[in-house]
Structures are given as structure tokens and as C-alpha cells.
Amino acid sequence: MFAAPYIFADKINAEIKKVANQKLNAKLDYSESNISFFHHFPSLTVSLENFKLNGSAPYQNESLITAKEVAFGIDVPSLIFGKSVNIDKIFLSNADINVKVSKEGLANYNVYKADKTKTTEKNEEDSSLKLEKIEIDNTKIVYDDLSTKLHFDIFGFNYLGKGDLSKAIFDLSSKAQIEKLNLLYDNEPYLMNKKVNADLITKVNVNSLSFIFQENDLKINNLIVDFKGKFDFLKEGYKMDFILKTTNSDLHDFFTAFPPKFITWLDKTKLSGKTDLNLSLKGDYIASKNIAPKLELDFKVKNGSVNYNQSPATISNLNIDFDTQLPSLNPDSLIVDLRNLSLNLGEETLKAKLYSTGTSTIDVNAMLNAKIDLEKLNRAIGIPDIELKGMLVADGTAKGKYDKKNGTFPVTNAVINLTNGYLKTKYYPNPITDIGIVSTISNPKGTFEDLKVVLQPAQFTFEGNPVFVKANLSNFDNLIYDITAKGTLDIGKIYQVFSQKSLDVNGFIKADLALKGKQSDAEKGYYSKLKNSGTLEIRNIKLASEYLPKSFLIKQGIFKFNNDKMRFNTFLASYGKSDFKLNGYLQNVFNFMASKNGVLHGSFALNSKYINADEFMSETTKKETTTTTTSETGVIVIPSNLDLHFTANAQKVDFNELELKNAKGSLKMKNGLLSMQNTGFDLIGCNVAMNATYKSVNTKNARFDYHIKANEFDIKRAYNEVKLFREMASAAEKAQGIISLDYNLKGRLNANMEPVFPSLTGNGIVSIKNVKMYGMKMFSTVAKKTSKESIKNPELNKVDIKSSIKNNIITIERFKFKFAGFRPRIEGTTSLDGRLNLKMRLGLPPLGILGIPLIITGNKDNPKIKIGRKTEDLEETKDSIQ
């Protein structure tokens, strides 16, 4: 026994290398191998120390299995008498197993290299795996599947099994223990810190890569579960047929397997009753083809009772019969069948039924009947962090299809009343009290036209301020409304009652309104038929939009309602560093709010001391991996249902590193298009006039078209202070003097509100007045090439340069100028990234009749000059998004 390991060491090591090279398509490393009868006595084992096996593509650089030691039991007769070595035992302890699946369904465990052709003769011996023992001790397993959004962690995994892996089809018998199981779906925890004990018999088919779980008894904490199913590996995914089942289990034991937030609740709760659960997942999952299995859950509770923390009231006769199906894991195909939900709370009862299909359009059949004290119900269940009171009486039915597009609404008849209501949460010390709701909902014919909602009345008191609302709404195809509202709301404090992370709401609203009218009268302009009056005063209101990265703060303002107009009286607002003073009106407000297609009209005078336009760019976050994120800004999005006109006057505007002063003009927003007319501002000391249009294509792309005219601005200052000028006229770096610009330009803006150069098209004139070109490499090279030093720093005066832009190329029309007796003539193309393809004729003194033809190529930093006339066109770059 001492000598055998040394005698057969070479043969065993050779066999390990042979298997690794022939059977694995992943990198296998280990520091050294030891052979002994005594590591796992009496088995002869080869132990690989510091074992590491990488995964298959696309995770070939990440580990699949790491362990301080992996041991393989050797079949001694095959070692002595056989041509190859047979492994009959596997020992794995204190290992880390990391299983990963990409969004495309590619897994890192496909490390076994299957034989494409099999030439082994029947009598030829080969390595086999008739495993008499599989032992895994204290191992950690992490499974992270991005394609299904499923993640689980297994800690303290102990496994003992056996199976004849030499056969094409074999049974794998095993016992398993898990000290701690965590299971998450879409980052939401479902099972946390659960103990699992299992007796398993799994039938494995090596040829088809399939597993049949035929006798599997699991115990998850105190819940006994029967698990059966089949799992096949497909080329691009899986075929699944799983059933997880528990029958006639105690309701208390059932909750021990629930997510962790229920555990503390369960410690204080007395539960009784029986429960059945049947969870199945059946079908193919192929992410690349958008194929997914069907998920079905059937859940029942019989004769249950619930009492939290020795409450004086106990929920009894709790019966639940619930079934839900999700074909192809598609939410639009969701089926919910709540056949029964009923309970008693003393003499009070609650009964409900619901059957629905779909999510975008919903076909529903529902019933609710309740007369229940919310305080008793809340205490009996133990709803955390919330205190409820009041008597709720509800009786209603709804049957039919909800389809907004086609104007159908379930046939409905419901009454919902709440008296002496009370609500308090942990987020704010004081409650909302005196809540009273008397409401009816009716719809006898199943259309939006017949839908009627009456709120008569609703009231509550908060922080000593009573609020009263009455509402009568009917014909939701052509909304008829009659609403009165009076009271003061502290929005910030009310928000704290329902506090949520990542939101911030503050401010006051004081209302005294009477609103009555018909939606069609507002649409057709019959404003005299509307009877809207009253005031709405707001102070320190923060508003947020999905398109705006910062909060918009309205410091003060008064709305005055007069029929269909909502007048703004001296609104003072701020957004980031920007300030606004606004007067004007909105029209068609109620149609805009009630109708999906309603258009909001308005006219305003806007005054501002400072506007930072860059702060209005929307933000989108793009996750590159699970550990790194990159952020990019988005373009300004103009909603399509706005028809607004602004007359603006801003003392200073910052936009994309431009500083505009005394900005004045007319701005319109209509059909998602923003247009500026007769806009003027001061930039780098000169007066600029501009007309422009802008429209967002989506949150990452926008189109613009503008005409700009600037008279006599300092070229040196423009280069230093205007980023766009610096990028488009890089040759002006060493220039001095005065130029004028009259140019049309249109193109696309990217997600950072920057122009995409290949998208730019336009044309115009640059007029030059007393410009000196110092140290330009192009003219320095021309001077050197022609031995005419006087042309090195030319001066231009009263020269008009016409050009056009397309596909990243600026085409310069022929222009001439005189300097130091020379008469240069230039034409050709340059690119926006600095490449040159210019033709130049250097007319010689005295009259320029004789001249030197030159070709200028290269780029602005390294121009190449040669004598000649033939050039090659610069390669165009077209915009990738047309």
C-alpha cells in the first residue's frame, strides 16, 4: 500500500493529462498531484492540490471550480491489469463552484469535449466512470443565470451519491444537505437562509444530456416538498418539465419556506390550517429565439386562521383557491384565477373572486363583498409599519374587457364606502384622520361612454387642515365632469406618509375650485359652455419628469380658472441654477388631462436672469456589467402633445460651453418640434441672429436645422471661446482679425447634445476682413516648398469664401486674394477631422500670369505640399443613423 503510489505514479499522471487534453475544452490547473491509500482510506486516490478549472466560452477566463484539493478514487484492478485507469470515486471538499449563464444562454459549464467520431472497438478498454461514491463536503455553489434572471447561492453543501457513469443511461442516487440556500429572481429575494435536506434518485441520459428527477423528497426548513421533473440540455438552451408539490401541509410549515421578511412576522404569528401547492415549469427555454416555458402555480389554503402578536381579533375560516398561468413567460398572456378568497373576522366577512386574462388588454370577471373593520384586520394580520382604522363596506362586480383603444370597459356595479378612516405610517409622526369616502362606480353596457364614477363626498383631515372633494364623472369617451374641491394640502408631509426611496416631494397647494363641463366642448372651442372657476395657489412645489434630471421648483404662483383657461399670475420658478419668471395662460387643460390625445395650448412671457440649458439634458444609465456602470446624458425631449408659445428674454444663457447674453426671441413648441424665430443674442462681443428648429427622435438622438448670421466677430476670440467653431474651423488657431458669417447648417445631435459631424449638411459664406494668418503650417510648408518666404504669414482682406458641408467633408469653392505681390488661388476639400485635399495656384509677381500649381494633402498638423494638379478625393464618412 505504501509502494503502489510510487510504482504507478507515472501511469496515473499520464492518464490525468490524457483526459484533460482529450476530454476538456477548458483550462485545467493544479500545483501538484499526490497518490495515496490513506487520504480517503481504504480507497487509492490521486489528489490534485490547488485545483482550478476554468469555464467554457464566453467565460473561459473565469473559474468554474476552485478547490484546495480534488481527489479521484482509482479502480485498483484497472490500474494493475488495464491499459487505462478507471475512476470509481470523486471527493470534493471546501470548494467554490461558480456557474454562469450569459444573456444569450451560453453557459460556462460546457467544458466536456464530446467525441465527434467514435472509433474505439468493443474489446478496447477506455477510461470509465462507474462511480461507487461521489462525496462533496462543505462546498459553496453560486449559480448566476442572466438569461433567466435567476440567481442562487448554496453554502455548506454536503452530498453523498453513487452512479454508474460508464453507462449511457444510469441512475444517480444521492443524499444532499444544504446549510443555507438563497434564491433570487430579478434581484428580488425569494428564499433566504433556508436549510434543505434531500433524498434524490436522478436518471441521467449521457447521450441526450438529459436528467429525470424521478424520486426526490425535499425538506425546506419545515416544509416537505415532492419534486419531480425532467431537464434536457439543448444546443441553445434547455427543455424543462418540473413539478414542485406539497400536499396537505401545515400552514405554519409552509411559511417557514417563505422569503426572509416573513420570518420575523412568523415568529409572532399563530397560524393553523392546511395548504396545497403545485408549481410547474414546462417547455423549452431558448433565449436567442425568444422561446420560454409555461409557468403555472396552483395554491390552496383550507380552514386557515391567523393571529398576530396575540391580537384580540383572529382571522378564521380563511380559504384561498388560487391558480395563475404564464404561458411562454409572457405577461400579456397572464391568466389569474382566484376562485375563492374568504375569511371571517368575528361577525365580519370578506369574500372575493377574480378571473382575468392578459395585461395590456384585460378580460376580467371579479366580485368583492366586504364589511370589515380595518383596525381589527390590520392587527390580526400584523401589517408592518402601517396603522389602519375605519369601517370598509364594499359590494361590487365587474365583468368584461378593459380595452382603452377600442372603448370597452367591464360591466361594473360597485359601491365602496369608508367611514371614520385613519392612516398612519412609520415615515411621519402624525396620521391622516377623518377619512370618509362614499363612492359608486357603474357601467351597465360595458363601454367607456357608459362609465360613471360618483364621489359624494370624500374628505380627510391632515395637520389640522380639512380637505373636501366632490366629483361626478361620466362618459369617459367624452368626459363630463362636475368637481368641487376646497382645502390646503402640505404635499411634502403627505408624501412622507407614503415615503419611498429616490423620490423627493415638497410644497403646498391651496384649492378653492368649482369645475364643470364637457370634454368635447373644450375640444371644439365652446368655452362659454364650460363653467370652471376658482383659484389654485401653490408654493415651493417640486416637480419631476422622466425627461429631466433635476427637480423643477415652483417657488410661488396662482392659477386662476376661467372656463377653459388657466392663467398663470407671476410664477417664480427655478431649475438647477436657472431662474424663471412666467406670466401667461394654458388652454384646453381638462381635455389634455382627460384624453390621451389632448393637446395643451398656451402662451407665455418668460423672463430670466440666467438659464443653464445643459441642465435640461435627460440622463440615461447604461449597465455594462453587474459591477460597472457608465452614464450618458440624453437629448432634450419635446413632448408631442404641447402647443406652446414663449416670448423669452434672458440676460444670460449657457449652452454647451457657449455663453449667450441678452437673448431675445420667440420660441414655439408644437408636435414635438421646437422652433426659434428672430432669435438674437450677443456672443463673443458680436450680435448674432438665428432661426432654428429642433426635434428629438428619441432620448439619444435629435435633429436640428438652423441659420446663423454673425457680423464682424473677432476670429481669435471665437477660436478660444466657442467649442464648435474650434472643432469646425481648426485652421483658425493662429489667425487674427475680423470675419463675418452667414451659414445654414443642419444635422443630428447625439446623446450628449453634441453634433455628429458626418450628419452635418449646409452651406454659406465666411467674409474675411483684415485677417492675418500667423504660423499656419500649410502656408509655412508652401513657403518652404516654393522658396517664397513672404507667403509664410499671409494677410487676407475683403475675401468671401463660399463652402458647403456633407458627409464630414467641407468643400471650399475657388477664391483669390492678393498678398505681397503674390496672387494665391485656393479651392478643394477638407474634412472635419482635419484632413486636407486642396489645390493652390501661387500666382507670381507682378500680375500673377505665371504661377506654381500646388497640391496640399495630409492634415492640418502635418500638411504635405507637392507641385502638381492631380489629387485624390478625401474619403467621405456617412452618418450611421439616417
Residues 66-86 pLDDT 10s: 988 888 777 666 555 555 556
Q: Are residues 710 and 632 in the same domain?
A: yes
Q: Are residues 626 and 584 in the same domain?
A: no
pTM of the full structure: 0.55
Higher pLDDT, 199 or 610: 610
Q: Could you count the other beta carbons within 10 Å of the beta carbon of residue 101?
A: 21
- Residue 221 confidence (pLDDT) above 90: no
Confidence of residue 841 (pLDDT cuts 50, 70, 90): confident
* Secondary structure (3-state) at 610: coil
Are 703 and 677 in contact by the 8 Å Cβ rule? The answer is no
Q: Which of 190-204, 574-588, 710-724 has the highest mean pLDDT?
A: 574-588
The per-type count for the chain, helices as H runs and strands as E runs, is 12, 47
Residues 200-219 pLDDT 10s: 666 666 555 566 666 666 67
pLDDT of residue 630: 43
Average pLDDT over residues 656-679: 84
In a domain, 556, yes or no: yes
Q: Which residues pair with 325 in a beta bridge?
A: 296, 335
Tally of residues, the chain: 882
CA 199, CA 176: separation in Å to the nearest integer?
7
pLDDT of residue 127: 43
Average pLDDT over residues 625-642: 64
Q: Which of 76-85, 90-99, 370-379 has the lowest mean pLDDT?
A: 76-85
Amino acid, single-letter form, for residue 226: D
Average pLDDT over residues 409-417: 94
Confidence of residue 9 (pLDDT cuts 50, 70, 90): low
Average pLDDT over residues 728-744: 76
Are 389 and 375 in contact by the 8 Å Cβ rule? The answer is yes
Q: Are residues 8 and 144 in the same domain?
A: yes
Domain boundary among 755, 790, 824: 755
Residues 328-351 pLDDT 10s: 888 889 999 999 999 999 889 999
In a domain, 651, yes or no: yes
Q: Are residues 129 and 27 in the same domain?
A: yes
Q: Which of 257-261, 370-374, 479-483 has the lowest mean pLDDT?
A: 257-261
pLDDT of residue 613: 77
- Residue 785 confidence (pLDDT) above 50: yes
pLDDT of residue 357: 93
Average pLDDT over residues 185-200: 72
Confidence of residue 13 (pLDDT cuts 50, 70, 90): low
In a domain, 695, yes or no: yes
pLDDT of residue 842: 81
Q: Which of 321, 273, 327 is nearest to 296 (CA)?
A: 327
CA 181, CA 220: separation in Å to the nearest integer?
9
- Residue 126 confidence (pLDDT) above 50: no
Q: Are residues 622 and 732 in the same domain?
A: yes
CA 247, CA 250: separation in Å to the nearest integer?
9
In a domain, 263, yes or no: no
Q: Which of 22, 3, 29, 207 is nearest to 127 (CA)?
A: 22
pLDDT of residue 502: 45
Q: Residue 235 corresponds to which cell in the numbers above?
A: 444546443
Higher pLDDT, 125 or 6: 6
In a domain, 468, yes or no: no
Q: Are residues 569 and 636 in the same domain?
A: no
Q: Are residues 586 and 617 in the same domain?
A: no
- How do strand 315-326 and strand 294-308 relate by DSSP bridges? antiparallel
Q: Are residues 495 and 621 in the same domain?
A: no
Count how many domains the chain has: 4
Q: Are residues 682 and 782 in the same domain?
A: no
Q: Are residues 534 and 613 in the same domain?
A: no
- Helix H or strand E encompassing 522: helix 519-524
Phi/psi-derived region of residue 66, left when phi > 0, alpha when psi is between -120 and 50, beta in every other case: beta
Q: Which of 610, 605, 607, 630 is nearest to 620 (CA)?
A: 630
Confidence of residue 436 (pLDDT cuts 50, 70, 90): very high
Q: Which of 111-120, 402-411, 747-756 has the lowest mean pLDDT?
A: 111-120
* DSSP letter, residue 10: H
Looking at every residue in the chain, the average pLDDT score rounds to 80
Are 324 and 278 in contact by the 8 Å Cβ rule? The answer is no
Confidence of residue 123 (pLDDT cuts 50, 70, 90): very low
Average pLDDT over residues 410-423: 93
Q: Which residues pair with 783 in a beta bridge?
A: none
Q: Are residues 672 and 783 in the same domain?
A: no
Average pLDDT over residues 564-582: 82
Query: What is the chain's alpha carbon radius of gyration, rounded to the nearest angstrom?
Result: 39
- Residue 153 confidence (pLDDT) above 70: yes
In a domain, 208, yes or no: no
The residue segments making up the domain with residue 547 are 487-592
Q: Which of 411-415, 539-543, 560-564, 776-780 has the highest mean pLDDT?
A: 411-415
- Residue 548 confidence (pLDDT) above 70: no
| Sequence-distant (≥ 6) Cβ neighbours of residue 208 within 8 angstroms | 232
Q: What percent of the chain has pLDDT over 70?
A: 79
CA 369, CA 624: separation in Å to the nearest integer?
50
In a domain, 840, yes or no: yes
CA 700, CA 577: separation in Å to the nearest integer?
24
- Residue 688 confidence (pLDDT) above 70: yes
- Helix%, strand%, coil% for the chain, nearest 5: 15, 60, 25
- Helix H or strand E encompassing 243: strand 238-250
Q: Which residues pair with 736 in a beta bridge?
A: 772
Average pLDDT over residues 838-862: 82
In a domain, 236, yes or no: no
- Helix H or strand E encompassing 255: helix 251-255
Q: Are residues 725 and 841 in the same domain?
A: no
**H-type alpha helices, 723-864:** 723-728, 777-786
CA 278, CA 297: separation in Å to the nearest integer?
6
